[in-house]
Structure 1
Amino acid sequence: MNSIRQRLLFWQITALIVTSILGSVLTYQLAWNAFNRIRDYGLEQIAYSVVRHGVRPQSWPPARPETPPPANPPAVTEAATVPAPEGEAEEDIAEDLGQFVSQIWSPAGEILYTSLESIGPPLQVPGFHMVQWEDEAWRIYTVADKRQIVQVAVTSSDRASSFAELVPWLLVPMGLLVLLLSLLIHTAVTKALAPLESLGRDIRRRDVKDLHPLETADMPEELVPLGQALNQLLGRVEGLLASQRRVLADAAHELNTPLAAVKLQAQLARRSQEGQRAAALDELDRGIERSTHLVAQLLQMARLEPDVRERQPVPVRFDRLAAEVVADFSAQAEARGIDLGLETSDAATVFADPLDMRVLLVNLVDNALRHTPPGSRVDIRVEQHADRVHLSVNDNGPGIAEADRQRVLERFVRLNPQDATGSGLGLAIVANIVQQNGGLLTLASSPPGGLSVRVSLSAHQDLGPAPPDGSSETA
C-alpha cells in the first residue's frame, strides 16, 4: 500500500471502527446495567404492590402477633398452588404471568400462593437475590410484613430477551454514525491531498526547458519544504544544464581553431616541396598534439560532472602517486629542457578516488611544464601535517599576476591567447577535483619568482600496510 490516501483512509477508518466498537461495548454495558436497575426497581414495586393489595387466599389465617420471618426458611417439600380469590388482585397477577412469578408465604414459611403450577424458586430473605433453580437463573426480590412474605421473581433469560429487543436501537445509530464519519473522512482526505495532486499536475505539465521555481506562497505548510526542495533541485538542474551548454559551446569554439589549423597544415604539407615537407609535417604533428590534448582535457572535464561516473574512494598513498606521475613526465620534461623533480616527501595517505588524484597531479605537472620556458625548474613536494596532506608544485617560470589567479581557475581562460600550448582547462580541472574532495586550492608566488600551486586535502589516519605498487591501498 504505497498510496498516502489509502494509508490515511486505512488508519483513520480503522481507528474509527475500533473506537466505535469500544464505544458500542461500553454503551451496551451501561445500557444493560441501567436496564437491570429499572427492571429491579419494577420487581420491587410489584412486590410492594402485592403486599399492599395482594392476593388473599380463601383459607387466609387470622391475624397473628408480629413474628419476623425465619432466618433460614424451611424448605418446602411439596409444591402447593393456592387458588387466588376473584377480584382485582387476581386480575393483576394474571396479567403478569409469563413476565414474572409471584409467591406469598406465611411468616412461618408456609406457601400460601404461587403463580406457577409448581412452588417456584425457594424462599429468600428480604432483598434482591440471584438464584439458580431448575437449571435457570432467577432474579428475585423478597419483602416481608407482619402477616406475609411476598417474593417476586423473573428469569434472566426473559430479561435478556427483553433487552435484546432494544439492542438494534442502540447499534443502528452507531453504525450510521460510522458510515457518515467514514464518508466525511474520505472527503476530508481527498480535500487535504488536493494541493499535492495540483503540484504533481503542475510539474507534469512543464516542458524540459521550463525550470522556473515553483510558487510556494499558496502551498500548505506541509508542502512548503517539498516545494523548496524541488526549487533547489530545479535550480541545480538548471545550473547543470547551463554549465553543459556553456562547456559544449566553449568546446566547439576551442576545437574549431586547432582543427582548422590541423586541416590547413595538412594542406600545406601536401603542397610543400620536398625540402619544406619535413617542417610542415612537424607543424602538423604539433597541431595534432594540441588537439589531442584539448580533447583529452575535455573528456576529463566531462567525467568530473556530477553523476557521470560512480567514484570509489580508497586510501591512496599520495607521495607514491606523485612519484609515479613525475616519472611519467620525466621524458617530456627532459625533451623541453626542464628540470622536473620530486623533493623528499612525507608518507601521506588520502581517502579519495585514485583516478581523480592521478588526474589532479597530471594536470598540475603538465600545466607547469607547458607554461615554463626551457631551462626552468619544476619541484614537487608532498607533506603531511596533523590531519592535512599538502601538495606543492613550484616553478621558476613567469608566474601569474595576483589579479589573475582567481580567473585562471575558470574554464577556457588563457592569459596569453597567442600561446597555443595550453587549452585553459588544466587549473579548472584541478579546482573542480579539489572542491569535490573537500580540499583547498591556493595560487601563490614561488620563492624563485614563478608560480606555486598548493593543494590541501584531508589525511587518512589509518595508513595500514603499504601496498607493493605504491599507488593505492584498501583500508
Structure 2
Amino acid sequence: MNSIRQRLLFWQISALIVTSVLVSAFTYHLAWQAFNRVRDYSMEQIAYSVVRHGVRPQSWIHDRPGLIAPPAAAPAMADTAPRAANDLGLFISQVWSPQGELLYASVDGTGPPLQAPGFHDIAWSGEAWRVFTLNGDEEIVQVAKTASERASSFASMAPWLLAPVALLVLLLGAVIRLAVDRALQPLDTLGQNIQRRSENDLQPVPMPGMPRELRPLGQALNQLLERVAGLLTRQRQVLADAAHELNTPLAAVKLQAQLARRSSENDRAAALDELDEGIDRSTHLVAQLLQMARLESDERKALPVPLRLDHLAADAVAAFSAQADARGIDLGLATCAAATVHADPADLRVLLDNLVDNALRHTPAGSQVDVRVEASDGQAILIVDDNGPGIAEADRERALQRFVRLRPMGGASGSGLGLAIVKHIAQQNKGLLTLVSSPSGGLRVRVAFSAHQAAWPPPAGAVATV
C-alpha cells in the first residue's frame, strides 16, 4: 500500500469500524441488561397481580367467605384443560399453599419446582428458566419463563439496535473519504503544477496559500530548483567561456600548422616548435576546463582523509622539476614542516599542481619559485613564493575569477583558470586562500588548512595517503 490516500482511508475507516463494533457490543450488552430488567419487572407484576386477584381453589372459597370465586371460564387446578407444548414459551403461573402444596398451575403438569422467594435461574424439563417467587399471606405465587424465549424476543429487536450504527459507519466512511480527498487536493495540485512545466521552467513553486504540512516540501523543492538553475547557469557560462577561450588557441594552432606547411626546410623546425607550443597551450586549457567542470559538478563527492601536506608538496616539486629546468627557473622545496591535514587527496594534488604550474608560467626565465609548508597555531600552511612580476593588490580579487588574465606573458600565457581552481578547492576543503606580496618581490600564494591531530603513519586498514 504505497499511497498516502489509501493509508489514510485504511487507518481512519479501520478505526471507525473497530470503534463502531466496540460501541455496538457495549450497546448490545446494556440493551440486553435493560431488556432483562423489564422482563423481570413484568414477572414481578404478574406475581403481585395473582396475589391480589389470582385463582383460589373452591375449597378455599367455602372456608373463607370473604374470598372471590374465580370466573366460570377460569379453570381450577383439577379442571385445567391440556395445554399444547408451545404454551411453555408463555409465562407460567403457579400457586402454592404455605405448606408447599401446588394449588394451581397455568400449564399441565407441575411446572418448575417451588423456589425460595426472589429471582432464580434454574433448569427444568431440558430448558433454562427464569423464576420469580413471591410469598403472600395465604399463598405462594411463582412465575416462570424460559430463557430461550427471552433471547428470541431480544434477537428480534437487535437489528433495530444495530441498524443506526451500520448507517453511521456508512455515512462517516463517505465523509472521511471526502475529507481525505479535499485534504490531499493541495498535494495533487502541486504535482500537476510541476508536471505541466517545461524542462526550462525552473521558477520557484508558489508558497502563498500552501498548507503548513506542505511548506517544508515546497521550500525544499524551491531550493532544489534554485540549485539546478544555478548549476545550469554555471554550465552555460563554462561552455560559453570554454568556446571563447578555445577559439583563440585553436585558431593559432591552425595558423601555425599552415605556416609549417609553407615553410622551407630550414624554417620548418621552428614552425613545428611553435605548433607544439600552441598544442601544449590548448591541451593545458582543456585540462583545466575539465578540472573546473569536475570540481563544480554536484555528482563528485569529496573523500577527505588524513594526509601529509609536506609529502604532497615534495611530490609536486619533483613532478615539475623537469618543466622548471626547461624554462630556466629554479624550483625548490624550502621550509617543509611535517603537517597533517584532513582533505581530499585528489583535490590537494590538483591544487598544488595548479599553484606550481601557475608560478612557472608567469615567472620569467632565471627566476626562483619556492614551495614551503609551515605548521603553527593548529594550522598547516602551504606557501608558494616567486620573484616574478607579482599581482597588484587592487587586482588580486579579480585574479581569482575564471578566465581573468591580468598580464599575459608572450608564449607563456595562461588560461586564467589556475587560481580560480585553487580557490574552489580551498573552499571545498575548508581552507583559506590569500594572495600577498612575496618577500622576494613577486607573488606569495598562501593556503591555510586546519591541522589534523592524527597519528602518523595511519593505522593498518586506513586509506593510504601521500
* Residue 21 (structure 2) aligns with: 21
Decide which of 448, 452, 455 is 1:456's aligned counterpart.
Answer: 448
Q: Is residue 2:148 matched to residue 1:157?
A: yes
* Residue 224 (structure 2) aligns with: 233
Deviates more, 1:331-340 or 1:257-266: 331-340
Residue by residue over 1:220-272, the C-alpha shift from the partner in whole angstroms, topping out at 9 and shown as x without a partner, is: 22222211211111111111001000000000000000000111111112222
Q: Is residue 2:309 matched to residue 1:333?
A: no
Task: Give 1:73-112 correspondences, 5 Å limit.
Answer: 86-87=72-73, 98-112=89-103
1:179–1:378: structure 2 CA closer, same or farther, 3 Å change rule?
same
> Which runs of 5 or more residues in structure 1 are unaligned?
65-83
Q: Is residue 2:200 matched to residue 1:213?
A: no
8 Å contact kept, 1:101–1:114: yes
The structural deviation recorded for 1:187 is 1.3
SS across alignment from 2:89:
coil
Residue by residue over 1:9-41, the C-alpha shift from the partner in whole angstroms, topping out at 9 and shown as x without a partner, is: 111111111111111111111111111111111
Task: Give 1:214-293 correspondences, 5 Å limit.
Answer: 214-293=205-284
* Residue 390 (structure 1) aligns with: 381
* Residue 37 (structure 1) aligns with: 37
Deviates more, 1:269-278 or 1:145-154: 269-278
Residue by residue over 1:291-317, the C-alpha shift from the partner in whole angstroms, topping out at 9 and shown as x without a partner, is: 110011011111112334454443333
The structural deviation recorded for 1:424 is 0.6
Write the distance in 2 (CA, Å) between the matches of 1:384 and 1:161: 97
Write the distance in 2 (CA, Å) between the matches of 1:256 and 1:20: 79
Decide which of 117, 125, 128 is 2:108's aligned counterpart.
Answer: 117
Decide which of 370, 375, 397 is 2:366's aligned counterpart.
Answer: 375
Residue by residue over 1:51-78, the C-alpha shift from the partner in whole angstroms, topping out at 9 and shown as x without a partner, is: 11112233437469xxxxxxxxxxxxxx
The structural deviation recorded for 1:348 is 3.0
* Residue 47 (structure 1) aligns with: 47
SS across alignment from 1:403:
helix
Write the distance in 2 (CA, Å) between the matches of 1:166 and 1:388: 89
Write the distance in 2 (CA, Å) between the matches of 1:126 and 1:393: 115
Residue type at the aligned position of 1:377: Q
The structural deviation recorded for 1:189 is 1.1
Residue by residue over 1:155-174, the C-alpha shift from the partner in whole angstroms, topping out at 9 and shown as x without a partner, is: 22211111111111112221
State how many pairs are aligned.
Answer: 451
Deviates more, 1:372-381 or 1:48-57: 372-381
1:394–1:417: structure 2 CA closer, same or farther, 3 Å change rule?
closer
Write the distance in 2 (CA, Å) between the matches of 1:89 and 1:97: 18
Task: Give 1:356-435 correspondences, 5 Å limit.
Answer: 356-385=347-376, 388-417=379-408, 421-435=413-427
Write the distance in 2 (CA, Å) between the matches of 1:110 and 1:161: 33
1:439–1:249: structure 2 CA closer, same or farther, 3 Å change rule?
same
* Residue 294 (structure 1) aligns with: 285
Residue type at the aligned position of 1:31: A
Residue type at the aligned position of 1:37: R
Write the distance in 2 (CA, Å) between the matches of 1:147 and 1:467: 109
8 Å contact kept, 1:377–1:395: yes
Residue type at the aligned position of 2:439: P
* Residue 181 (structure 1) aligns with: 172
Residue type at the aligned position of 1:240: L
8 Å contact kept, 2:88–2:146: no
Residue type at the aligned position of 1:159: R
The structural deviation recorded for 1:50 is 1.3
TM-score, structure 1 as length reference: 0.88
1:304–1:120: structure 2 CA closer, same or farther, 3 Å change rule?
same
The structural deviation recorded for 1:329 is 0.6
Deviates more, 1:31-40 or 1:235-244: 31-40
1:132–1:342: structure 2 CA closer, same or farther, 3 Å change rule?
farther
* Residue 352 (structure 1) aligns with: 343
1:134–1:97: structure 2 CA closer, same or farther, 3 Å change rule?
closer
1:467–1:330: structure 2 CA closer, same or farther, 3 Å change rule?
farther
The structural deviation recorded for 1:327 is 0.6
Aligned sequence identity (%): 68
Write the distance in 2 (CA, Å) between the matches of 1:338 and 1:18: 87
SS across alignment from 1:423:
coil
Residue type at the aligned position of 1:200: G
The structural deviation recorded for 1:49 is 1.2
Write the distance in 2 (CA, Å) between the matches of 1:465 and 1:279: 51
Residue by residue over 1:187-212, the C-alpha shift from the partner in whole angstroms, topping out at 9 and shown as x without a partner, is: 11111111111111111111111111
The structural deviation recorded for 1:416 is 2.1
8 Å contact kept, 2:204–2:225: yes
* Residue 75 (structure 1) aligns with: none
Write the distance in 2 (CA, Å) between the matches of 1:133 and 1:179: 45
Deviates more, 1:445-454 or 1:189-198: 445-454
1:38–1:415: structure 2 CA closer, same or farther, 3 Å change rule?
same
8 Å contact kept, 1:63–1:147: no
Residue type at the aligned position of 1:181: L
Residue by residue over 1:385-411, the C-alpha shift from the partner in whole angstroms, topping out at 9 and shown as x without a partner, is: 565432222223222222222222221
RMSD: 2.7
Write the distance in 1 (CA, Å) between the matches of 2:408 and 2:385: 23
Deviates more, 1:300-309 or 1:53-62: 53-62
Residue by residue over 1:297-354, the C-alpha shift from the partner in whole angstroms, topping out at 9 and shown as x without a partner, is: 0111111123344544433332212211111011112222222222343333333332
1:89–1:272: structure 2 CA closer, same or farther, 3 Å change rule?
farther
Write the distance in 1 (CA, Å) between the matches of 2:245 and 2:429: 28
Q: Is residue 2:312 matched to residue 1:321?
A: yes
Residue type at the aligned position of 1:318: L
